[in-house]
Structure 1
Amino acid sequence: MSDSTSRNTSTSDAPRENASESSLEDDVLVQEAREGDEHSYKRLVNKYERALYYHILKMVKNKEQVEDLVQEAFVKAFDNLESYNTNYAFSTWLYRIATNHTIDYLRKKKLQTLSIDKPRKTKSGEMEMQLEDHSAQTDRSIIRKQRQNIVQDAIDELPAKYRKVIQLRHMEEKSYQEISEELGKPLGTVKAHIFRAREMLYKSLKDKRGQF
């Protein structure tokens, strides 16, 4: 289980007492979802998708990226549904997963933008860091390539309709609307296909985590 899923997802809150009707409804849907009921999955998504969108939007201002993060949070939640502690509200657990996943995304994005060549301020003025470790750069390049190959192999194994939307979204970086227009499919169908494709990829790549 990833850090963003397991970190503080079932502790620190007081156990539920006098649970609301909505929360009790979630209990039923979660149990049915655990048993593989696709309709219950969809009902949980429909119930919380909009609220999670605005929750993440407070942290990430790119609306299309927010949609991706919402979908990814649901994928993580559903893939780890067996770890959900029913003594606590499902909504609280789901929000924690979404928050932690978004924090992880922001942290990785920040790391990607930091440059080791940026001048560092010292008492003597600015100093540039010169790191000429070519072997380390080569190793990183090899590891990156291996990861790309593993991900691409997983994408290639997807059914055609799911493989196509993932390629358009993540390889060609097209918007949901552009994908909808290119494929001639309703926007809702495109989003549903991308959600399902990510769910399948997440499960496939989780089994190969030791290769990353």
Structure 2
Amino acid sequence: MSDNKTTSEEEYESPRENASESSLEDDKLVKKAIGGNEDAYTKLVDKYQRALFFHILKMVKDREQVEDLVQEAFVKAFDNLNTYNTNYAFSTWLYRIATNHTIDYLRKKKLKTLSIDDPVKTKDGEMEIQLPDESAKTDRDIIKKQRKKIVQKAIKDLPEKYRKVIELRHMEEKSYKEIADILDSPLGTVKAHIFRARELLYKELKDKKDRF
């Protein structure tokens, strides 16, 4: 009997030495996902969703907001799977995306809530926040209106079942439970539709990011 073995699809060889069985499985799922296998996407979400939730919860205490951030992190990761470097574990790459996305969220939230009357502390002492001139403010207002129109059109063009959940979630600021009650749908279905809607919006809007 020959000792030679034929490498099958299941005998995936990782470029990482001593890669764990779990990590090897991730690599196979990523490869399938890049090829368009939706079941592979679902398995990756099921595997890491809970862990990412508690990872982000350490930084953001609003549990419902954490659910949004987890979904958004998956959307970003799946849309950039072709950039994943298999020299690193998929879990490491995914956690880095989730962490950076959460940090961006916290940074934006802090900027929105920063009072112009509060001095900013620096190593050289305190400094007052300087307000921009009115012309700059006007330009920002115009850009903001243009951005709003682009987003609204993208939402309007979504399939109806996705458009409804996005409008309820982000325009009317309903909770997942409230949306499920309004649409008389299972909570899991609502979350899945919001996830898919965000994925479609991300793909639609990423080519227009220079206008944001």
Per the normalisation by structure 1, the TM-score is 0.87
Alpha-carbon offset, residue 132 of structure 1: 7.2
Q: 1:17 and 1:168, CA in 2 relative to 1: closer, same or farther beyond 3 A?
A: same
Structure of greater relative contact order (alpha carbons < 8 Å, 6+ residues apart)? 1
- Give the match for residue 8 of structure 2: none
How far off is 1:138 after superposition? 1.4
Q: Indicate the SS of the match to 2:158.
A: coil
Q: Distance in 2 between matches of 1:156 and 1:55?
A: 33
2:82 — aligned with what? Answer: 82
1:6-17 to 2 correspondence within 5 Å?
A: 16-17=16-17
Is the CA contact (8 Å cut-off) linking 1:180 and 1:190 kept in structure 2?
Answer: yes
1:1-212 superposed matches below 5 A: 16-118=16-118, 131=131, 133-212=133-212
Tell me the distance in 2 between the aligned counterparts of 1:129 and 1:93: 37
Q: Is there any run of 5+ residues in structure 2 with no aligned partner, and where?
A: 1-14
**Match of 2:40, as an amino acid?**
S
Q: Which amino acid aligns with 1:169?
A: R
Partners of 2:163 and 2:68 in 1: CA distance: 16
Distance 2:16 2:137 in 1: 51
Equivalent-residue separation in structure 1 for 2:201 and 2:150 (angstroms): 11
SS state at 2:16 partner: coil
Aligned residue in 2 for 1:6: none
Are the aligned partners of 1:117 and 1:130 in contact in 2 as well (CA < 8 Å)? no
Q: What is the CA deviation profile of residues 49-92 of structure 1, one whole-angstrom value per residue up to 9, with x for unaligned ones?
A: 00000000000000000000000000000000000001111000
State the identity as a percent.
77
* Contact residue 165 and residue 193 of structure 1 kept, 8 A: yes
Tell me the SS of whatever aligns to 2:59. coil
Q: 1:130 to 1:83 in 2, by over 3 A?
A: closer
- Structure 1: 5+ residue runs without aligned partners? 1-14
- Counterpart-to-counterpart distance in 2, 1:181 and 1:70: 22
Aligned mates of 1:38, 1:153 — CA distance in 2: 27
Aligned-residue Cα RMSD (Å) equals: 1.8
Q: In the alignment, residue 74 of structure 2 is paired with which amino acid?
A: F
Q: Which amino acid aligns with 2:133?
A: D
- Residue 119 (structure 1) shift: 5.5
